[in-house]
A and B are shown apart, each in its own frame.
Chain A
């Protein structure tokens, strides 16, 4: 087993023992749903129901229920898609890249972060589906399946097709990675289960885990292999999503800086979302000893770094627009800052560039309340970043005759709510029935000589 240097601060405070970890985590799974959980679930299901109606209307009436038009062909749909995909970056980054870098502080947060990733990617994937004019054929025509239509094949030149591969690969690997990590913990719950049904369910879920040394060895090698596989994916997914825009000819989209800028933005928003969720979970499930201020501070530092990268990217775009000498490019960026959608631009700048800089102050980055507020602000800002890129670039492109404004309808909002409803419902189910922290891994960093203080 790994040895923690005695000089370092312990990652888990109050001298929790191995037994405490099991007790603290399994308590949620084994106990009755708490009142706050029930309330949360009711709200989530309510939002999901409203959203489901919007989705129904969308599929029944047509894409026209949204507010898009002849010039702005994508608006909230792809904004939401990119936003959710970005959020879905944190989990795998934490569990894969930080695993490879042996960052042990990740152990307290990776389970929930990965779960969040899975749900966020599912939410993201619904938007490319719903935004299709003909979903009923599109969902399988976009796949390179052998067919009886003659020589019809997908278009490998299209970044949308790359998206299909990128997202589905990322989703699959993330799901497997997450699930493999869950197996030992399921086994723990199985072993403790008193109720017949939960015993049956958790034994099925734990795939017959026996805790043998050989099993552990296999488990660790699989985790490492998957981490190795997932690492490039973390970078590739958003790179490819950014190519939806970067490979186009539209001023404001056609930008080579997009891949690194999108990846940084994704990690930025992903960490912010993890923080938002973890701060709540930590409080509700009383996990303050596992997710400590130290964790929060480290994540806030990642937010400063990625937020600054994003800020530099914003400025670089402006510089390049000026430097390129292309009038359309220049207009596209001037229009962002001074055009009819400048409020969106300034929202983005304030939320993404200015707000995270507050974390330079130790007091702010170690404060739960300010972290909570800023993490939410960052995600608002990141939504607007995508909105600015998509709508503001499209609404005034080359030919002024086609310049338009885009106004969202209640169905734009409704389908966005649907994704929230789904996300929170899924996350609440996860937090109730799955171990929210990785017990097995946490036990490896608890001091063997722990004594209660």
Chain B
């Protein structure tokens, strides 16, 4: 080729190097003169097209714009990203809790207990924890209503005042109907209302009444009031049909006090006897639990009385003999613990309560465990007055009625009669915040604020006061009911001023300082109000005993015990999905009420939560409900919970379960939740699927899961009941080593914090407040009944409830699976164990779950691809998968409003991500709280102090069963509790001197950072 250097010219022009030619030589068409000279070439066209396509596709990909609007004028106290806490008071009828409300950017997002309260001691309950969501309830009225139409406040005020004036002028009767009112200032506003309209009477009733106890105290001591109890001073506690840890009396207070006697301080604990027909939360914590029929409650008490009377040398009463070993045992123990014992009964029958008073008087318990001088105000309703009101109304003697946050059409046993009576009442007003069963029947609805939007005060008991302050301005056009009363009685003060003026009488010294302190603390104690009274028992025991004998005659196949659940309670928070999905502590069922029935009576056991329907007939009323086969249910008895079957609660709560208020009756003049006669149950063959979160009732004798001992054994050896597994190996001379000595990992070193959680199985009573607290704190979705049936509840923290097995033979698996007839119960809160050798961490293909330098097992949601391998490999099964998109999804809009409605979303904790579909989630030890605490300490250039950081569950625990803290901190509560030896700082395994502390599944060597303390039962 090299030789070939010939050049071919295109023409003579090239040879001559013609300038004009060279200029065009490189062009495609050199001769062409027609080439366009326009500015855009084909290349430009392509460029433009490329740009347009790219721009169009970019524009199409743009995420929707969400506007975050900065403050124009920043409120003084509100800093974005910084939470504010306000002391306030949870009031729901007579239910009370002093609380600390956490707000973020002006939105209440969490209700915590107020540690400064001497009444509730920082405790909460499931209902209190869940109440923050009720604030953002979609069903709440947006404003006042007049005759079913939306109206303005001025319109309805004008009409109401003019109508009330007319009625008052004619002397027509006006009634204000409410549940128990705890607030002194509210009472005063009602008094003012009465002054303006003198024909007014205030009628109080309670869904579950305690009027019988008040009457009994009047008959016994001449004081018509309910006493304060102090369970913490009781060494022997006898409960007869009283679920005092869950619903009876003041459960938060009771739980706190009771727990103090169960923590084995100085190796001591109380002994608790319970006699009951339903398996209750309280009964499940008892050392001795005996099953009786509801009709036998009075007899059990009379029997106890007789044994004690014999010991005291006084005459006994006539009583139906009950053959129960535990009765004499309880009586003997009570006698031994004279002055340090307590007998409580759940019955509302004055006769029974007089007998109980007699026993407590005989035992010198007044003044030690019972304090009648510090009367409590929790239940002041009187069904006699309420019945009189309904009769008056029915006979046309009531001209106007104001339902002050009460819903008697639903929750009073005469509700149906009231519906008829209301048609004869000229003016009907309700202050309900939703158009509930009663409010739909009234002329005017003047919707009240939620308690988190209101000023208020409360006096739970004599000498104890607390303030409620608004933590958000009213979300809707609602108005405090008290303000309405003031306006209707022509008082121009707003309720805040009015309340403050009312409090001025209590201040000693500078009012502003007093006010500021009280508002900050939330509570105020005025001990001088409590006058100690000397009590002389004047009750006629023999007469009461014979009344009991004649009033309770068992008839028919079954007796019915109506009860309240600790979750849904009396149904007033019936539209709260957190409470509906909260598994009942005992039955572990959600979204339903049902007939609890013993295995013998039902004739079958639940098979994977599948059951049969049954028709219950009580006094001519028939209800169809599923059967919950319940170990520990007395044979021949059934139990059904109140609070269900709402029809006008809202999308969440409507038609969940059946309403059994109509089955409530009266015995001996007071409300009675026990029906001993005329109850028939017809079991049908219709199969029904219950939504239970736990279907296996026993722990199969697995000692590594539940470790327990009796008090006697524990006194001899602190480590009694502990299970010490060993692993066989050639590496040691004995051929066996402790599981923690074997590992294939190098171990972690924690030079900063090392977070740990200790759970005292003896203090935990299973109340489940922690579960709701965890749900609210961590934005955990509620998934609804269908998904619970699919076994996909999302709770990060669950409480495992185990019954003792029907057999003691561990190898007889079939018998081990069955619960005993009257089983011992143990509750085990179970959450991520934050294993040091976490099985989940090794198996994640994308390292989405990793270990922190502080011992936490962390979950990076954004990294998770959802293989669920970690959940499979978790020995504790605490990981939860987002099977669906639970937020902004119509499928879950009704059950999970907090992630699906504009209003509901306000409750979300901005510090915690709302997880998307397809990712795994689990307990984080409230890492957002840990980070916040650490940052706060860092800003102040100091070390983090123990107690500054705690998890939501530990904070919610009234019993103090959960202790969270830094195990590297020598002075932390958890270090002291478990007696972690010095010099263990930095090590992943801590050597503990407290022999009660153990790891669940110790032998698999995952080395959790969650510790459990053995369950101790005080029984021989």
Contact = CB atoms under 8 A, between A and B. Distances in A.
A155 interface: yes
Nearest to A161: B845
Interface stretch (A31-39, A57-65, A364-372): A57-65
B917 A133 contact: yes
**What 9 pairs across the A-B complex have the smallest Cβ distances?**
A133-B866, A133-B918, A64-B883, A138-B865, A73-B868, A401-B800, A69-B791, A402-B877, A155-B847
Nearest to A77: B868
A380 B712 CA distance: 57
Contacts of A394: 872
Nearest to B801: A401
A331 B873 CA distance: 17
Interface of B: 608, 694-696, 698-700, 702, 705, 728, 787, 790-793, 798, 800-802, 810, 813, 828, 830, 839, 842-847, 863-869, 871-873, 875-877, 879-885, 916-920, 1000-1001, 1004, 1006
Contacts of B917: 62, 133-134
Contact of B839 (A128, A160, A249): A249
Interface in A372-417: 394, 396-405
B792 A70 contact: yes
A158 B877 contact: no
B888 to A, nearest CB: 13
Which range holds the interface residue count of chain A? 35 or more
5 contacts: A61-B884, A62-B918, A158-B842, A398-B1004, A400-B705
A400 B846 contact: no
Interface of A: 61-64, 67-71, 73-74, 128, 131-135, 137-138, 141-142, 152-155, 157-161, 164, 244, 247-250, 325, 327-328, 331, 334-335, 338, 340, 394, 396-405
A400 B13 CA distance: 99
Contacts of A249: 839, 873, 875, 1004, 1006
Nearest to A71: B877
Given A138-B866, A164-B845, A398-B876, A62 B885 contact: yes
Given A63-B881, A401-B696, A133 B843 contact: no
B865 A134 contact: yes
Contacts of A160: 843-845, 867, 869
Contacts of B863: 141, 152
B1000 to A, nearest CB: 8
A331 B810 CA distance: 11
Contacts of B881: 63, 70, 73, 133
Contacts of B844: 155, 158, 160
B697 to A, nearest CB: 8
Contacts of A335: 813
A398 B875 CA distance: 6
A247 B800 contact: no
Given A62-B883, A64-B792, A399-B800, A247 B843 contact: yes
B649 to A, nearest CB: 27
Contacts of A155: 842, 844-847
A131 B868 contact: yes
Contact of B700 (A133, A248, A400): A400
From A68, A70, A164, A404, residue with most partner B Cβ within 10 Å:
A70
A381 B231 CA distance: 62
Contact of A400 (B699, B866, B1004): B699
A141 B872 contact: no
Contacts of B802: 400-401
B791 A70 contact: yes
A133 B880 contact: no
Contact of B695 (A68, A152, A404): A404
Contacts of A397: 875, 877
Nearest to B783: A64
A71 B791 contact: yes
B877 A405 contact: no
A407 to B, nearest CB: 9
A328 B702 CA distance: 9
A161 B918 CA distance: 19
A89 to B, nearest CB: 23
A242 to B, nearest CB: 14
A338 B842 CA distance: 32
A404 B877 CA distance: 11
Contacts of B699: 400-401
Nearest to A158: B845
A154 B696 contact: no
A128 B873 CA distance: 17
B955 to A, nearest CB: 24
Contacts of B879: 70
From B810, B865, B880, residue with most partner A Cβ within 10 Å:
B865
Contacts of A340: 608
Given A134-B916, A249-B875, 16 more contacts: A64-B884, A70-B792, A71-B877, A132-B867, A133-B866, A133-B867, A133-B920, A137-B865, A142-B846, A152-B847, A154-B846, A160-B869, A398-B876, A400-B705, A402-B694, A405-B608
